[in-house]
Structures are given as structure tokens and as C-alpha cells.
Structure 1
Amino acid sequence: MVWLEDKQDWMLYFAVPSEKCSVYSMCGAFSWCAENIIPMCSCLRGFSAQSPNEWSSGNYTGGCTRNVALPCSLNGGGSVPSMYGYEEDRFYVANNVRLPDGSQTVQATSATECEVACLNNCSCMAYSYNETCSLWYTDLMNLQENLDNTTNSIFIRLPASEIPHTKSSRGKPLGIFVGGSILALGVCLVAILCLLHKRRRIKGLHQIDINMITFRYKDLQLVTNNFLEKLGAGSFGSVFKGVLQDGTTVAIKKLEGVRQGEKQFQAEMSTLGTIHHVNLIQLIGFCSEGEDRMLIYEYMPHGALDQDLFRVGLGDVLPWNTRYQIAIGITKGLTYLHDNCRNCIIHCDIKPENILLDATFSPKVADFGLAKLLGRDFSRVITTMRGTIGFLAPEWISGTAITAKADVFSYGMMLFEIISLKRNVEHEKRCADKFFPILVAMKIQEGNVHELLDADLRRDVNLEELDRACMVACWCVQQDERSRPTMGVIVQILEGLVEVNMPPVPRYLQFLAESADESMLSSTK
């Protein structure tokens, strides 16, 4: 507001909108805006940031551009035969959105007719059908998450290469020829595999991957001195130390409760053996004999993260920089599991005990892929909870579908422990305002996150990094999984590449903490 002397009145000079997404084209073309997600702007499927540097700095107005040009645009543009459109272009549906401006209405009596109308015009970027057919011929601008109760869907045009293939009846003659050739080759291949299988079979096992080693049970007995030195135990089984004949030290996990047969087990081992990342523990081989199932991993000299986090005596604590780099390394490993594997791998059991440290304190996520291997279900997961408040996302309790965002929640709870060097449930008082995750959220609101740490711990802390870590942890533990960032975004935030907004207080954790208070009070009466 500016005071005008001549008019003796205030004039509005500048105003900040209460909802950033209400600013027209806040996120530019071919992206969508959501207030409760960080970052608030996301490129649509099949599109990438027009200017990655601007995007990472928080300026999204440049919008997004196609990863692959539409085939018809490469052939002169304009209208093209519908069969060309069906063959080369498909549609990706974005649900629960506020439709962008600039649509044109055409006559169509069904969603199929509306789709055909869009396909038959190379300039058509998207369509939506809700009793009437709306087409968009220009860049999609101002696409937003729907905040009211109405349901809208928009179908965005993409090249076929950007969307998994669906059945088509076209090209049958070629298909028959190719199919016949493949069948003939398949018969020959099966015969060869059968012959190789007979030659390679050794006591019911065969090599499944050139990088995987199959071990016999008696060999593992020998290298572990009959499983003498136990390194630890977890929800999946016990771990023992062993030394192979070439002098390589390994960790051998004896699995408990494996439900899969030998063939399924070996198939899973083949998949896990192809996963390589500096922040993921490396699987060297396996053993599958009778009822015994064992995994052979690289050995980590510093053991599990919990052993270093919760030491007694301040002189032994991990310095802040080491802890912060550990937090970043874990996110990179989980990002690889979620986004870079052939199929998304949800860990389901993120906690300090499942983070191992090598000789340089570089973190490696362990036990990934074992949740699926053991057929983990709700009844098994609930046993891993420590007290009332553990590492499990609320969707485990509600029974809703589990996604990678469940790992994000668990990571957030673990990040609180990395920050405080204490168990979340072992702080001095269990009351709601002293439960560490809630305390962090309150201190963020006050701008006093440095008060979260003891005076001795503040000396080597980078306050900017501490602030980032606290805000990330609070975003990770939001009840609505849509509000939680992806692991890839967390990496960017912790590395200072992306700004993070002020997180709301995690109401779900606050509710649990208050419920625990009431239970404690009632038990003392």
C-alpha cells in the first residue's frame, strides 16, 4: 500500500496472491501446478523443462517442451489421415485437474468421436469429453490441480513412443511373417536352453546371471566357520560374517519366511543382481538348497547406521557434515530404486538398521527387494513398529495402496533421527509438544531450528543445511502422500538446487502423539 498525499488515501501498490497457482501460467506451458506439493510445478508426462537451469532455481514460467516431437508435425503439419494418427499418436490422461483455457468445442456424441476429432488434426494438443467435446490447438497453459469437488480429465496427445503399446489390428501380414519367424527361432532357442540346462545343472541349481554366483550350503558353512560370527538380525533374518577363498569378506543373510519356490527365488535373484548403484548394497550371490535361502552381500566395515547414530557420549558422535552426506546418499539410492530400475522397487522397511556404512562412511541401502521376495503384507509390517509411532506411513494402517511415497515417509522419520542423534520415541518426554518431529515443525515455524540441538552439537552444524533437512523431514511425513516430495526432489533440495517452502505441521504424527499422551495419562490414574 502507498499513501497518496494529494488524494489523502491509500492505493494498492503490490499484492501477493494467497494461492500461487492462481497466478496465470505460473508454471508455463505443458506443466501443471499444485499448491500442496513441492516443487509446486511439474512437467506433464512426455515433457521436460524448457530451461532446466531456470526450473531448478524456482522460475517455472518457461514451462516445458516435448521430449519427442509429434510425428505428424515432422511431416508438414496440418490435417493427416486418421490411420496415421491412430498409428503414431496416443493420449495420456491427466485426472482431477482444472482444465486449461483456450479450448474449442466441436460436435461429438462420444469420447471416442472426440478422440478421433483430435487425432485427425495435427494441431490438436489435447481433448476432454464431458457431454461436450473440447479440443486444444495451442500450448496447454494454466493446468492446475483441481481444488473443488468436480472431476475433470484431459487427454494429452503424445507420440506412441511415449506411451506403452496397445493392441492394433493393422499390419497383420507383416505380423504373421514376423510371428512365424519368432516362433521358429523360439523352438530352436528352447532346444538349446534345454541342452544347456542339463549340462549346467548342479544339485538342482544353475547359473542365472553372469554376475551372480550360486553357492552351496556346505561352502557357506565353511566360509563362515559354521555361521560363528553373527553381525546382526532383522525382520528378514540373521546376518553372519564370512571370508571367501579369495580373501573377500562378505556378509551372509540367512532368510526367514521365504514363501517363493526355487524358480521364483532365482528369478528374483537375477533381477536384484542387475541392480548397481554406489548407495545400494551389492548382491554377490545366493544359496538355494531345500528350505534354505541365503543372500551373499559385500561386507560393510562400519555396520548399520543405528550403531553410529545412537552412541553414548558426545565425543563419539558422527560429525554433522558426515550425517548430512549420509542423508543425501540414502536419497540417491532410493531414487535409483524408485525411478531408475525396470520396475519401481519399494523398500517398505527404511530405518537406520537397514542403512550400512562402508569404510568411508558412505551409506548403502540394504534389504531392498526383500519385501516382495518374502511376500510382505500388513500383518508382517506392523511387527516392525517401535511403540506407537515408528517408521510406517499412515497408508499401512489404513490399508490403502502402497506406493514409493511410503518409503518417503519412512525416510522422513529416519531423517529426524539423523538430525537429533536420538530415537524419535526416546526423547525425554513423550508428550505431543516434545515428540521430536512435532517439535521440529514448531521450531521451523518460529525460525529457531538451531534450538533443536544440544549446545555441544550446534558447534559443527551448518545452519542452512540443518534448516533444509528439517523442512524436508516435515514434508516427508505429511499424511497425504501427494504432499510428500519424491526422493529425486529431496536430493535436489538437500543439495541446495531447489528451494523448499514452509511445511505444515504433520497432523497425523501430532494426532498419534496426543493419543499416546492420553493413553499414558489414563494408565496412571
Structure 2
Amino acid sequence: MPPPLFFFFFFFFFPTLHSQPFDYPIANLSTLWTNDPSLPHHVSYPDGSSIRAILLRLNPSGFGPSFAAGFFCTSPCASFFFAAFVVYANSGGRITNPTLAIPQVVWSANRHRPVQENATLHFTPNGDLVLKDLDGGLVWSTNTSSRNVVSMSVSESGNLVLVDRNNLAVWQSFEHPTDALVLGQSLSQGMRLTANTSSTNWTESDLYLTVLSDGLHAFVDSSPPQLYFQTGISGTKAENRSTYVSFLNGSLAIFALFLQPGEPDMVISLPPADSVQYMRLESDGHLRLYEWRTDWKMVMDVLNVFPDNCAYPTVCGQYGICSNGQCSCPSAEYFRPVNDRQANLGCAAVTSISCQSIQGHQLLALDNVSYFNYIDLDAALPQGISETSCKQACLNNCSCKAALFQYGGNVSHGSCFLPSQIFSLQTNRPEVTHYNSSAFIKVQVIPSTSSLRNSTTEKGAGVGVVVGSSLGAFLVLLSIVALVLVFVRRRSREASEEDFLDQVPGMPTRFTFEELRVATWEFSTKLGEGGFGSVFEGKIGDDRIAVKRLDGIGQGKKEFLAEVETIGSVHHFNLVRLIGFCADRSHRLLVYEYMCNGSLDKWIYYRDENVPLDWQTRHKIMTDIAKGLSYLHEECRQRIAHLDIKPQNILLDDKFTAKVSDFGLSKLIDRDQSHVMTRMRGTPGYLAPEWLTSIITEKVDIYSFGVVVMEIVCGRKNLDHSQPEGGVHLISLLQDKAKIGRLLDLVDHHSNDMQLHENEAIRIIKLAMWCLQIDSSRRPSMSMVVKVLEGAMDVETSIDYNFVITTPGITSKAGYLDDSPPPSASLLSGPR
């Protein structure tokens, strides 16, 4: 859009700002704002916070509490957030600094990644709002380019809105809530408010409020999440209607069943608004309602279920016991305060729970103590369990941190909750709750100390032996000897087979099946499945793990041995770390490090509504993969061909470091071998052409890497049947675009940042084309790929633009090996 036309739309949709020429003179109007004191409204406040407002929407009276958007910082002002906030304006339409009118932030774009002084906010000509830090790195974007956006404004209710030529909202902050709601804002099903850790530390806490199908729920985020508030609306849901909650004047209205048009199914009554109101989910789990009067006043605690405030998960920290608002630790012998002067910060175990010393696990009994949520019955074990069974279930599960038991008049029948992470407890008042409760906290004791559990030893009854005839006794004895010989021979064979694994140099920890069964909570949390087995989440001590259990026998066992032998002897930062394994009788399991961001496929295919990865993150992921493969191919004693490189086998940690996983299909190649013979395996869409001959080298991984690079740069699957005809197979499409010089058409259109780095993206596409050469000898080595990605080497220029096989009799209609869709991708947080 030409600049004059853009300015016309900008002022057309900013009537308030346009009426204030001293704020935004036409001559100085810019769509690029720099975070410095030169911004129109630069105001500092007595608490040390500061704002640099870009947009201001005065309230109808022309003064008083009004909404603005711009840069905000807390004391000390070392980092800034682009935010929408409530400020106080005087009758002249200027933001003022009265002592009590501290700005109240109601939305933030970048609370995960604060920016520095001189960061920039750019409202681009193609309609994208982009926040970049001082070094030029992309921090946040609305990703609204090419959607005909013509203006940006702040509404009277505090909604930051980007609209198109028809004055329709293309993007709005109300659809991306952070920790607060303002009047007129709604939370749709699946949306959440997530508290900040404190009023000055703008990072997300473990507490969140969300809308589920039956209403409003509040959780503390653990594994699994633990409930502390719910509304509960039962009835038949309307088809194709999602539950939502609206913050209205006088109520928080819950729409779930839609029995009467426009009428909520339940309301939480609120004081009517006399001025600006907002509510915030705060770091202690309370949803508080605030209103401007002569200053900001908290007028209601919306979720204040119990007046003593003990029914919140963090009121006394982990293991802390809340009683009438006072916090204490369960036992001076086994727990100590995290901070002696701040009892509300919780308690820490004197000796940490260890799954390696499960024999030292015992239970500390606390009478008349309940959990913060009085036990969430939906998360508890089945009703009717006894107190003894509840305690034993916790002792049998290493990840269990406490047995919380709730009952009426008899300990033989009640509810049992076994949390894997302990938050605040509270004293139980049966006269209020109308039930009894006990808590049994797991502690780690030295085996020689006295036990907290009473144990009884039952004397065995005498065994009478009836002796028959001498011949009968001899036959019985002979039978026993024969059975023992068979058993010993079988056990010897099994031990010999399993001892093979102990001979592998540098072998990781060996676990028993029972230890891993306990660590995975009876294999109850499946992360995904694929290859030769399923992957389950688990925990050993304080460390989360991913346990791969081979579900089959025969070939699965063979793959298990290959995987343990291979991974047990290689170590690299970009390979998923093997922590341990289990070879217990017929059980074959692998224990891996837990990768919290799961597999790469969920970040590049957009099926989970994740924010598009920026160019720097994608480039780093590609480099990480290349380094991991380079190590396998060129730095190990034997060359290791992975044979199944695909996004599902690339896992990401909390910093988006990529690590190659799943060596179950790996093949070792001696240094004096040029190739090996093997059966075809891998995943359709990623197979190199030489698989047809069954003669392979590590170059098959390079072809697969080229496919993955194309998927990362293009933001789509290689085989995508939802694409228009001619675009189903990405590599065939690449072949066509390369021949007509239209590679830019392939760059991910979901991300404006990718478009900003189009020259770099084209260079990487050319690298992928080099890797996709049908003649494997013309493909680069992985060490050469790493050099290209790091800028130390150029891409080969003499590249053949034919990337798919066209030999009659072995091709499909699309001209490639197999156009059937690959196995469904799993949302794994561990290796497949």
C-alpha cells in the first residue's frame, strides 16, 4: 500500500488520536516506533515502573482512566514489554502521574521474552505488527501480513485491534489473553489465563484458569494438572457450540448449554461497574476484580471459595500446611522451611526421595490434614478404597509423593489421591467439610532408622511332611531334580543373553522392569507410539524421563539390542541421551532424557496452533540435526546410518535445541565397507532412491535430511493430500519450481519473519536440493552440510534438478516411491 493511502486509513480509524495533534502530528507520523523516551507519552511512576505509550484511547468523558498501548517496564526498568494498559489521563488528554494511578497492564505480547531499550515495534506496510529486540531478532508478531490490514487501534474497552478495509477485526488482543480480563472480554473454550510469578517478575507461574466444556476451571500445572476451582454445569451440550465465559457488567457469565439464546447457564455475580474494571489471575491463584475509584481498589475475590484462603495450591508452598492462614512444615525431622523468615514459601525434604533407594520409602502420618483441593474426586483412585490400600498404592509407586485419604466414618471406605507433586496442604475441619481426612507424606529414611510404618510378622504354620514309600520318594526327588535342571538351563540361557548387554562399553544404567513400572506410574501416561514400541512419561527422582517399551518380540528384540549397543557407545549434544535400559526376562525398555517441546513435526505442520517458528530458530534446528548426523556418519568408530530421519524423530528441548532420536533402525558400517545390504525400511516420503537396490550408505540419511529441510523451510508435510493437485508431493513441487526459478513460492507463508529472510531461505532450499540428488555420490557429506549452514562453505552450483525417480514400473502417478501417507505423527516428548 502506498504510504499516503496508509496514513489515510491510519487516521480514519484513530478519531481520538487524530483530534490530538500535539500527540501525533502528521509530519512525525511513523509506522516504526523505537522504544526510547521520544515516544509520545513517556511517564515514570512512583513505584519505579514506566510507560512509553504509542496509542491512547481516552474514555468518553475525555479524562480519567483510559486504555493505551505501548512499552511498559517494572522497576528497575531493564526490560520492556509491549502491552495494553490502563492509565490515568487529565482533562487535556495527557497521561498523568498521580501517586495512586499506577498503570495496570491487562495484556502483554512478550512476557516470555522482554526486550531492551531501543527495541522496535513495526506496523509493516503489508499489515503485520512486528516486535524486534535491539539486535534485530524477532520477538513477537501478529502474523497478519497479506490479510489486507489497514489500521491498528485500541478500543474503549482496551482491545488492541488490527482491522481490514471492511473494518473487520483481523487480529485482536482479546483472542490472545494473558493474565487479565476487561469488561466485554470473553474466554472461549480452550483459552486460558496464566498468572505471572509475581507483580514484578513477568514470567508465567504454574497457575492457570481455563474454560472446559462444562465451565470455568482453575489448575496448578503439574503432571497431570491439579484442580483447585471449578464451576460444574451438567446437561446436554448444543452441537457445534463451544463453551465460553464473558466478563459482563455485574457478572462473570458462563455459556455452556445454550438452552436459551443469549442467556448464560450460570453467573458469578460481581459488583456493577461505576468505572473501569478488570480482573486478574494473580500469583497466589486468586482471580481478583479491581475497579478505579479514587485509586485502584480490589473490590472482589472472584474465586474465593473458602474465607481462610487455605484452599489454594501455593498458599503455603510445597509440603506446607495451612491452618487459619498460618503456614508450617509437616515434621521438623523430615522437612525444613525453604526460608525461615517466609513460611509461605513452603518446605523442602531433608532427604530427597530416591527411586534407587525405594526400600527407604516410608510414610509420615498426618491426622486431620487434607490437600488444598479437598481431593479432586475426578483425579482420585476409584471410590471405596481402604486407607491401607491407599497407603500401599503410594509405597508401590516411586513417583507418588503422598497418599491423601478422605473418608466418612470408616477408614475401610473412602477416596484416595496419589499426587506426583505436592503443593499446599491444610488442616481439615470435619464440622465444616463433613468428612474426615488423613495425609501420609512419603519420606526417605536411612534403612537402619526406625520405621514409620508398623510392620507385623506372622509366624508360619508348621509344614507336615508325609513320607510314603521309598520308591515314591525317589520318583518325587527325581522329578524335582529334572525340573530344577530345566529351570537352571533356561535361566542360564536368559542370563547369558542379557549379560551380553552388560559387555557394551559405557553402557548406561540398567533398571529392573519393576523399577520402570513404578517410575511410569504403571505405564499410565502414553506420550506416543511408533517404530517397535510405545513411549511413556515417567519420573526418576526429580528428573522426568521418557520410557520406550518394545511391545513386540523377535524382530523388536533385535532392534532393541541394536539400539542399546549403538546409543550406549555414542554421546553427542545433538543426540537424545540414553539414560538407561531394562533387559529383565522378556521385557525390553529404553530410558531416555525427556524433551519437553516434543517432536519437530508439531512445530512445523501447524496442527497444534503453535506460533510459527522464526527463521533463526528454524536455522538452528537444521544445524543441530546436521551436527548430530555428522557425528554419526564421520566421527564414530563405525559409521552409523540412522535410516529413519524424519521430523517425528527430531526432538526439541526447552531451548529448541534439536536432538536426533530413535536409533532402532540404525545400521553400523565398518570403515572398510563402502556400503551394506539391508532390507527396505524407514518411512514413505523420506526414502532415498537407492533403497530400491537394497544397497545403502549413510547417504540415505542425507537425502532424508534434504526432505526434512524442505519441510522446515516450507512449513508443510512432504506428502500432504490436503494440498491442491500438483502440490501433494513437496519434492516434486520443488523440482517444478526449481526449473522455472520460482523457489520463493515455497517459503512458509504462515510466518512474516520467513519472508523477511527470503534470501537466506532460498540458500537453504538450494542446500536441500544438493542433498536430494538422485545419484547418492553427488550428495554432500553431513560435515559439508554443517559448513554450509554455518556460512563457511557455499552450496554446489552444478545441481541436477531431477529429485524424484521416473523409472517405469516402480513409480507411482506422482513419480516417487510411495504416495501413501506416512504413519500418523505422535506428539512425543520422548523418542519413538
Q: 1:495: which partner in 2?
A: 790
Q: 2:660: which partner in 1?
A: 365
Larger deviation, residues 222-231 vs 467-476: 467-476
Matched AA of 1:492: K
Residue aligned with 1:316, SS: coil
* CA–CA distance in structure 2, aligned partners of residues 453 and 403 of structure 1: 30
Instruction: Return the match for 1:221 from 501, 517, 520.
Output: 517
Matched AA of 2:718: N
* CA–CA distance in structure 1, aligned partners of residues 748 and 557 of structure 2: 52
* CA–CA distance in structure 1, aligned partners of residues 609 and 521 of structure 2: 37
Distance 1:219 1:434, change over 3 A: closer
Residue aligned with 1:391, SS: coil
Q: 1:140: which partner in 2?
A: none
Tell me whether 1:285 sits opposite 2:285 in the alignment: no
Distance 1:443 1:288, change over 3 A: same
Q: 1:419: which partner in 2?
A: 713
Whether the 8 Å contact between 1:424 and 1:437 is mirrored in structure 2 is yes
Q: 1:298: which partner in 2?
A: 593
Larger deviation, residues 355-364 vs 316-325: 316-325
Whether the 8 Å contact between 2:605 and 2:716 is mirrored in structure 1 is yes
Whether the 8 Å contact between 1:277 and 1:333 is mirrored in structure 2 is yes
Q: 1:471: which partner in 2?
A: 766
Matched AA of 2:707: M
Whether the 8 Å contact between 1:345 and 1:369 is mirrored in structure 2 is no
How many angstroms does 1:259 deviate by?
A: 4.2
Whether the 8 Å contact between 2:641 and 2:701 is mirrored in structure 1 is yes
How many angstroms does 1:506 deviate by?
A: 2.2
Q: 1:394: which partner in 2?
A: 689
The CA RMSD measured in Å over matched residues stands at: 3.5
Q: 1:349: which partner in 2?
A: 644
Tell me whether 1:406 sits opposite 2:700 in the alignment: yes
Report matched runs for 1:36-185 at 5 Å: none
Tell me whether 1:255 sits opposite 2:550 in the alignment: yes
Distance 1:254 1:218, change over 3 A: same
Distance 1:412 1:224, change over 3 A: same
Whether the 8 Å contact between 1:432 and 1:510 is mirrored in structure 2 is no
* CA–CA distance in structure 2, aligned partners of residues 475 and 350 of structure 1: 17
Distance 1:323 1:412, change over 3 A: same
- Larger RCO (CA under 8 A, 6+ residues apart): 1
Matched AA of 1:420: C
Instruction: Return the match for 1:232 from 509, 528, 553.
Output: 528
How many angstroms does 1:327 deviate by?
A: 0.8
Consecutive unaligned residues of structure 2, counting only runs of 5 or more, are 1-491, 669-675, 817-832
Paired residues, number: 311
How many angstroms does 1:419 deviate by?
A: 1.2
Q: 2:625: which partner in 1?
A: 330
Residue aligned with 2:813, SS: helix
Q: 2:537: which partner in 1?
A: 241
Question: Structure 2-normalised TM-score?
Answer: 0.34
How many angstroms does 1:446 deviate by?
A: 4.3
Distance 1:312 1:496, change over 3 A: same
Whether the 8 Å contact between 2:688 and 2:704 is mirrored in structure 1 is yes
Matched AA of 1:516: K
Tell me whether 1:438 sits opposite 2:748 in the alignment: no
* CA–CA distance in structure 1, aligned partners of residues 725 and 557 of structure 2: 49
How many angstroms does 1:405 deviate by?
A: 0.6
How many angstroms does 1:333 deviate by?
A: 0.2
Consecutive unaligned residues of structure 1, counting only runs of 5 or more, are 1-197, 520-525
Matched AA of 1:409: Y
How many angstroms does 1:203 deviate by?
A: 12
How many angstroms does 1:413 deviate by?
A: 1.2
Distance 1:434 1:236, change over 3 A: closer
Larger deviation, residues 433-442 vs 273-282: 433-442
* CA–CA distance in structure 2, aligned partners of residues 343 and 411 of structure 1: 20
Instruction: Return the match for 1:516 from 813, 821, 824.
Output: 813
How many angstroms does 1:477 deviate by?
A: 1.6
Matched AA of 2:802: P
* CA–CA distance in structure 1, aligned partners of residues 620 and 545 of structure 2: 25
Compare the two structures and name the one with the higher helix fraction: 1
User: Which entry has the higher C-alpha Rg, 1 or 2?
Assistant: 2
Tell me whether 1:452 sits opposite 2:749 in the alignment: no
Tell me whether 1:506 sits opposite 2:807 in the alignment: no
Whether the 8 Å contact between 1:284 and 1:296 is mirrored in structure 2 is yes
* CA–CA distance in structure 1, aligned partners of residues 527 and 692 of structure 2: 31
Residue aligned with 2:639, SS: coil
How many angstroms does 1:372 deviate by?
A: 4.4
* CA–CA distance in structure 2, aligned partners of residues 257 and 281 of structure 1: 23
Question: Structure 1-normalised TM-score?
Answer: 0.53
- Give per-residue Cα distances to partners, 1:309-363, cap 9 Å, x unaligned: 1124876222222111101110100000000111011001000000000010000
Residue aligned with 1:479, SS: coil
Q: 1:276: which partner in 2?
A: 571
